[in-house]
Amino acid sequence: MALLALSASLISPSRLACWRVKSTVKSSISAASFKLRNGSIKCKAVGDSSKPSIQPTVYKGAYGSWTVEPSDVRETFLDHDNSVQFIEHLNNNVTGDLYRLGLVTAASAFVIAASDAFLPNDSLLGEVIKQNLDLLYTLGAGGLGLSLVLIHIYVTEIKRTLQALWALGVVGSFATYTILAKPADENLIHYVVDNPTAVWFVGPLFAALTGLVFKEGLCYGKLEAGILTFIIPAALLGHLTGLMDDGLKLALLGSWMALFVIFAGRKFTQPIKDDIGDKSVFMFNSLPEDEKKALVEKLEQQKFSQDLS
Protein backbone atom coordinates (compact mmCIF):
# COMPACT_ATOMS: atom_id res chain seq x y z
CA MET A 1 0.00 0.00 0.00
CA ALA A 2 1.12 3.57 -0.67
CA LEU A 3 1.49 4.45 3.02
CA LEU A 4 3.70 1.48 3.90
CA ALA A 5 5.71 1.79 0.69
CA LEU A 6 6.48 5.42 1.43
CA SER A 7 7.67 4.70 4.97
CA ALA A 8 9.92 1.91 3.71
CA SER A 9 11.42 4.09 1.00
CA LEU A 10 12.24 6.90 3.41
CA ILE A 11 13.92 4.91 6.20
CA SER A 12 17.34 4.94 4.54
CA PRO A 13 19.64 7.25 6.49
CA SER A 14 22.25 7.35 3.78
CA ARG A 15 19.77 8.86 1.34
CA LEU A 16 17.50 10.73 3.67
CA ALA A 17 17.04 14.36 2.77
CA CYS A 18 16.85 17.06 5.35
CA TRP A 19 16.41 20.15 3.22
CA ARG A 20 14.99 21.36 -0.13
CA VAL A 21 17.02 21.33 -3.30
CA LYS A 22 17.99 24.83 -4.33
CA SER A 23 17.11 24.70 -8.01
CA THR A 24 17.94 28.33 -8.75
CA VAL A 25 21.69 28.08 -8.12
CA LYS A 26 23.47 28.64 -11.44
CA SER A 27 25.78 25.96 -12.76
CA SER A 28 28.42 28.54 -13.65
CA ILE A 29 29.40 29.16 -10.03
CA SER A 30 33.11 28.51 -9.63
CA ALA A 31 34.78 26.70 -6.77
CA ALA A 32 36.12 29.97 -5.46
CA SER A 33 32.58 31.25 -5.01
CA PHE A 34 32.05 28.97 -2.05
CA LYS A 35 34.02 31.38 0.09
CA LEU A 36 31.27 33.95 0.15
CA ARG A 37 32.47 37.45 0.85
CA ASN A 38 31.84 38.88 4.28
CA GLY A 39 31.03 42.28 2.87
CA SER A 40 27.88 44.04 3.97
CA ILE A 41 24.58 43.85 2.18
CA LYS A 42 23.44 47.42 1.80
CA CYS A 43 19.69 47.42 2.09
CA LYS A 44 17.95 50.63 2.98
CA ALA A 45 14.37 51.15 3.98
CA VAL A 46 12.45 53.40 1.63
CA GLY A 47 12.71 56.99 2.79
CA ASP A 48 15.07 56.19 5.68
CA SER A 49 18.75 56.71 4.89
CA SER A 50 19.80 56.33 8.53
CA LYS A 51 19.49 52.53 8.46
CA PRO A 52 22.91 50.92 8.88
CA SER A 53 24.22 48.25 6.54
CA ILE A 54 23.35 44.74 7.65
CA GLN A 55 26.15 42.25 8.14
CA PRO A 56 24.90 38.79 7.14
CA THR A 57 25.69 35.83 9.37
CA VAL A 58 28.22 33.50 7.79
CA TYR A 59 27.51 29.78 8.26
CA LYS A 60 30.04 26.98 7.92
CA GLY A 61 28.93 24.43 5.32
CA ALA A 62 30.26 21.08 4.17
CA TYR A 63 31.80 22.67 1.07
CA GLY A 64 32.50 26.19 2.26
CA SER A 65 30.94 29.20 3.93
CA TRP A 66 27.55 30.62 2.98
CA THR A 67 25.11 33.33 3.99
CA VAL A 68 21.36 33.82 3.85
CA GLU A 69 20.73 36.07 0.86
CA PRO A 70 17.62 38.21 0.30
CA SER A 71 16.62 35.83 -2.52
CA ASP A 72 16.68 32.94 -0.04
CA VAL A 73 14.46 34.87 2.31
CA ARG A 74 12.04 35.81 -0.44
CA GLU A 75 11.73 32.13 -1.32
CA THR A 76 10.86 31.30 2.25
CA PHE A 77 9.12 34.43 3.55
CA LEU A 78 5.99 36.14 2.41
CA ASP A 79 6.61 39.47 0.67
CA HIS A 80 7.16 42.34 3.09
CA ASP A 81 7.82 45.99 2.28
CA ASN A 82 11.53 45.70 1.48
CA SER A 83 14.60 43.50 1.76
CA VAL A 84 15.71 45.12 5.03
CA GLN A 85 12.61 43.72 6.68
CA PHE A 86 13.39 40.31 5.24
CA ILE A 87 16.76 40.17 6.99
CA GLU A 88 15.71 41.92 10.18
CA HIS A 89 12.91 39.44 10.67
CA LEU A 90 15.34 36.51 10.60
CA ASN A 91 16.33 37.23 14.20
CA ASN A 92 12.84 38.21 15.32
CA ASN A 93 11.18 34.85 14.61
CA VAL A 94 8.84 36.38 12.04
CA THR A 95 7.53 33.23 10.40
CA GLY A 96 5.26 34.13 7.53
CA ASP A 97 7.04 31.90 5.02
CA LEU A 98 5.14 30.06 2.33
CA TYR A 99 6.31 26.61 3.39
CA ARG A 100 5.05 27.15 6.92
CA LEU A 101 1.93 28.87 5.62
CA GLY A 102 1.15 25.69 3.70
CA LEU A 103 1.58 23.58 6.83
CA VAL A 104 -0.59 25.90 8.90
CA THR A 105 -3.30 25.85 6.24
CA ALA A 106 -3.23 22.06 6.06
CA ALA A 107 -3.26 21.68 9.84
CA SER A 108 -6.04 24.23 10.35
CA ALA A 109 -8.27 22.73 7.67
CA PHE A 110 -7.72 19.21 9.00
CA VAL A 111 -8.41 20.12 12.63
CA ILE A 112 -11.59 22.04 11.77
CA ALA A 113 -12.89 19.25 9.53
CA ALA A 114 -11.96 16.49 12.00
CA SER A 115 -13.66 18.29 14.88
CA ASP A 116 -16.96 17.37 13.24
CA ALA A 117 -16.45 13.85 14.58
CA PHE A 118 -16.47 15.14 18.17
CA LEU A 119 -19.36 17.61 17.95
CA PRO A 120 -23.00 16.75 18.75
CA ASN A 121 -25.18 16.03 15.71
CA ASP A 122 -27.49 18.95 16.45
CA SER A 123 -24.64 21.42 17.02
CA LEU A 124 -24.83 24.63 15.00
CA LEU A 125 -21.03 24.66 14.62
CA GLY A 126 -21.17 21.05 13.48
CA GLU A 127 -23.72 21.91 10.81
CA VAL A 128 -21.55 24.75 9.52
CA ILE A 129 -18.53 22.44 9.35
CA LYS A 130 -20.53 19.69 7.60
CA GLN A 131 -21.62 22.12 4.90
CA ASN A 132 -18.00 23.11 4.23
CA LEU A 133 -16.16 19.80 4.53
CA ASP A 134 -15.33 19.65 0.83
CA LEU A 135 -13.96 23.20 0.95
CA LEU A 136 -11.86 22.36 4.02
CA TYR A 137 -10.53 19.24 2.32
CA THR A 138 -9.56 21.30 -0.73
CA LEU A 139 -7.82 23.95 1.38
CA GLY A 140 -5.93 21.31 3.35
CA ALA A 141 -4.79 19.50 0.21
CA GLY A 142 -3.73 22.80 -1.34
CA GLY A 143 -1.74 23.82 1.73
CA LEU A 144 0.04 20.47 1.77
CA GLY A 145 0.79 20.79 -1.94
CA LEU A 146 2.32 24.24 -1.43
CA SER A 147 4.60 22.91 1.30
CA LEU A 148 5.66 19.95 -0.85
CA VAL A 149 6.60 22.30 -3.70
CA LEU A 150 8.80 24.38 -1.38
CA ILE A 151 10.18 21.60 0.85
CA HIS A 152 14.00 21.48 1.02
CA ILE A 153 15.28 17.98 0.27
CA TYR A 154 18.76 17.10 -0.99
CA VAL A 155 17.68 13.97 -2.87
CA THR A 156 15.44 15.10 -5.71
CA GLU A 157 13.94 11.62 -6.19
CA ILE A 158 12.45 11.67 -2.69
CA LYS A 159 10.98 15.12 -3.21
CA ARG A 160 9.45 14.08 -6.52
CA THR A 161 8.03 10.92 -4.93
CA LEU A 162 6.24 12.93 -2.26
CA GLN A 163 4.91 15.32 -4.88
CA ALA A 164 3.77 12.43 -7.07
CA LEU A 165 1.93 10.85 -4.14
CA TRP A 166 0.24 14.17 -3.43
CA ALA A 167 -0.83 14.51 -7.08
CA LEU A 168 -2.09 10.92 -7.13
CA GLY A 169 -4.07 11.57 -3.96
CA VAL A 170 -5.59 14.75 -5.41
CA VAL A 171 -6.66 12.92 -8.58
CA GLY A 172 -8.04 10.03 -6.52
CA SER A 173 -9.92 12.40 -4.23
CA PHE A 174 -11.43 14.30 -7.14
CA ALA A 175 -12.47 11.08 -8.88
CA THR A 176 -13.99 9.68 -5.68
CA TYR A 177 -15.96 12.85 -5.10
CA THR A 178 -17.14 13.22 -8.69
CA ILE A 179 -17.96 9.60 -9.46
CA LEU A 180 -18.99 8.23 -6.07
CA ALA A 181 -19.68 10.82 -3.37
CA LYS A 182 -21.55 13.50 -5.33
CA PRO A 183 -24.03 11.10 -6.97
CA ALA A 184 -24.75 9.71 -3.49
CA ASP A 185 -25.36 13.27 -2.24
CA GLU A 186 -22.46 13.04 0.24
CA ASN A 187 -19.35 15.09 0.81
CA LEU A 188 -16.02 13.40 0.21
CA ILE A 189 -15.04 12.99 3.86
CA HIS A 190 -18.31 11.38 4.93
CA TYR A 191 -18.19 9.10 1.92
CA VAL A 192 -14.73 7.87 2.90
CA VAL A 193 -15.92 7.41 6.48
CA ASP A 194 -18.91 5.36 5.31
CA ASN A 195 -16.94 3.46 2.65
CA PRO A 196 -13.50 2.44 3.98
CA THR A 197 -12.33 1.09 0.62
CA ALA A 198 -12.23 4.69 -0.63
CA VAL A 199 -9.04 5.07 1.45
CA TRP A 200 -7.26 3.46 -1.49
CA PHE A 201 -8.07 6.53 -3.60
CA VAL A 202 -7.38 9.31 -1.09
CA GLY A 203 -4.60 7.49 0.75
CA PRO A 204 -1.65 8.72 -1.39
CA LEU A 205 -2.41 12.27 -0.27
CA PHE A 206 -1.93 11.24 3.36
CA ALA A 207 1.11 9.17 2.40
CA ALA A 208 2.70 12.40 1.16
CA LEU A 209 1.81 14.06 4.47
CA THR A 210 3.37 11.13 6.33
CA GLY A 211 6.57 11.56 4.33
CA LEU A 212 6.69 15.27 5.13
CA VAL A 213 6.31 14.80 8.89
CA PHE A 214 8.79 11.90 8.80
CA LYS A 215 11.37 14.16 7.20
CA GLU A 216 10.74 16.93 9.71
CA GLY A 217 10.86 14.54 12.65
CA LEU A 218 14.13 12.94 11.61
CA CYS A 219 15.87 16.15 10.54
CA TYR A 220 14.91 18.29 13.52
CA GLY A 221 14.22 15.71 16.21
CA LYS A 222 10.58 16.73 16.66
CA LEU A 223 8.77 14.21 18.82
CA GLU A 224 5.30 15.17 17.61
CA ALA A 225 6.38 14.65 14.00
CA GLY A 226 7.81 11.24 14.81
CA ILE A 227 4.57 10.16 16.49
CA LEU A 228 2.50 11.48 13.59
CA THR A 229 4.54 9.27 11.25
CA PHE A 230 2.90 6.27 12.92
CA ILE A 231 -0.50 7.71 13.82
CA ILE A 232 -1.44 8.83 10.29
CA PRO A 233 -0.97 5.45 8.56
CA ALA A 234 -2.31 3.58 11.61
CA ALA A 235 -5.57 5.55 11.57
CA LEU A 236 -6.08 5.12 7.83
CA LEU A 237 -5.10 1.45 7.76
CA GLY A 238 -7.28 0.76 10.79
CA HIS A 239 -10.25 2.32 9.01
CA LEU A 240 -9.46 0.57 5.71
CA THR A 241 -9.13 -2.91 7.22
CA GLY A 242 -11.94 -2.57 9.76
CA LEU A 243 -9.65 -3.88 12.52
CA MET A 244 -10.27 -0.86 14.76
CA ASP A 245 -13.46 0.00 16.59
CA ASP A 246 -14.85 3.51 16.50
CA GLY A 247 -13.48 4.35 19.95
CA LEU A 248 -9.89 3.61 18.95
CA LYS A 249 -10.25 5.44 15.66
CA LEU A 250 -11.57 8.52 17.45
CA ALA A 251 -8.66 8.36 19.91
CA LEU A 252 -6.18 8.25 17.04
CA LEU A 253 -8.00 11.06 15.27
CA GLY A 254 -7.91 13.25 18.37
CA SER A 255 -4.20 12.58 18.83
CA TRP A 256 -3.61 13.37 15.17
CA MET A 257 -5.39 16.72 15.55
CA ALA A 258 -3.43 17.74 18.65
CA LEU A 259 -0.05 16.70 17.30
CA PHE A 260 -0.68 18.32 13.93
CA VAL A 261 -1.37 21.65 15.62
CA ILE A 262 1.82 21.35 17.68
CA PHE A 263 3.80 20.31 14.61
CA ALA A 264 2.65 23.26 12.50
CA GLY A 265 2.96 25.72 15.38
CA ARG A 266 6.54 24.79 16.19
CA LYS A 267 7.63 25.70 12.66
CA PHE A 268 7.14 29.32 13.71
CA THR A 269 10.07 29.10 16.15
CA GLN A 270 12.47 27.37 13.76
CA PRO A 271 15.38 29.46 12.38
CA ILE A 272 15.12 30.25 8.68
CA LYS A 273 18.57 28.76 8.00
CA ASP A 274 17.23 25.32 8.97
CA ASP A 275 14.61 25.48 6.26
CA ILE A 276 17.27 26.53 3.73
CA GLY A 277 19.70 23.80 4.71
CA ASP A 278 23.44 23.73 3.98
CA LYS A 279 23.53 25.98 0.92
CA SER A 280 27.10 24.97 0.14
CA VAL A 281 25.81 21.48 -0.76
CA PHE A 282 23.33 22.95 -3.22
CA MET A 283 26.08 25.10 -4.74
CA PHE A 284 28.45 22.13 -4.95
CA ASN A 285 25.85 19.99 -6.73
CA SER A 286 25.41 22.71 -9.36
CA LEU A 287 29.09 22.77 -10.33
CA PRO A 288 30.55 21.00 -13.40
CA GLU A 289 32.33 17.76 -12.59
CA ASP A 290 35.83 19.18 -13.07
CA GLU A 291 35.11 22.03 -10.65
CA LYS A 292 33.62 19.62 -8.14
CA LYS A 293 36.79 17.53 -8.29
CA ALA A 294 39.01 20.59 -7.88
CA LEU A 295 37.03 21.81 -4.89
CA VAL A 296 37.10 18.41 -3.17
CA GLU A 297 40.88 18.21 -3.66
CA LYS A 298 41.27 21.71 -2.24
CA LEU A 299 39.17 20.88 0.82
CA GLU A 300 41.11 17.67 1.38
CA GLN A 301 44.37 19.59 1.25
CA GLN A 302 43.04 22.14 3.74
CA LYS A 303 41.93 19.35 6.08
CA PHE A 304 45.31 17.65 5.77
CA SER A 305 47.09 20.91 6.61
CA GLN A 306 44.87 21.45 9.63
CA ASP A 307 45.55 17.93 10.87
CA LEU A 308 49.28 18.52 10.68
CA SER A 309 49.14 21.86 12.50
State yes or no: pLDDT of 190 exceeds 60: yes
pLDDT in tens, 88-131: 333 333 334 788 899 999 999 999 999 999 999 889 999 999 99
Please check whether residue 206 lies inside any domain of the structure: yes
Question: What would the mean pLDDT of 146-156 be, rounded to a whole number?
Answer: 87
| pLDDT for the residue 271 | 67
| pLDDT for the residue 46 | 41
Task: Give this prediction's pTM.
Answer: 0.66
| pLDDT for the residue 31 | 39
Please check whether residue 193 lies inside any domain of the structure: yes
**CA 32 from centroid of its chain's CA atoms:** 32
Please check whether residue 47 lies inside any domain of the structure: no
Alpha-carbon gap, residue 218 to 62, rounded angstroms = 20
Q: Which of 234, 247, 226 is nearest to 206 (CA)?
A: 234
Q: Which residue has the higher pLDDT, 305 or 260?
A: 260
Please check whether residue 25 lies inside any domain of the structure: no
Please check whether residue 18 lies inside any domain of the structure: no
Please check whether residue 138 lies inside any domain of the structure: yes
Please check whether residue 22 lies inside any domain of the structure: no
Please check whether residue 137 lies inside any domain of the structure: yes
Percentage of the chain exceeding pLDDT 90: 47
Alpha-carbon gap, residue 24 to 42, rounded angstroms = 22
State yes or no: pLDDT of 23 exceeds 70: no
Contact 197, 240 (CB under 8 A): yes
pLDDT in tens, 193-225: 999 999 999 999 999 999 999 998 888 888 999
Contact 67, 278 (CB under 8 A): no
Contact 171, 123 (CB under 8 A): no
State yes or no: pLDDT of 191 exceeds 90: yes
Q: Which domain holds residue 129?
A: 1-6+32-39+54-309
Look at the chain and report how many structural domains it folds into: 1
Question: What would the mean pLDDT of 175-187 be, rounded to a whole number?
Answer: 96
| pLDDT for the residue 64 | 57
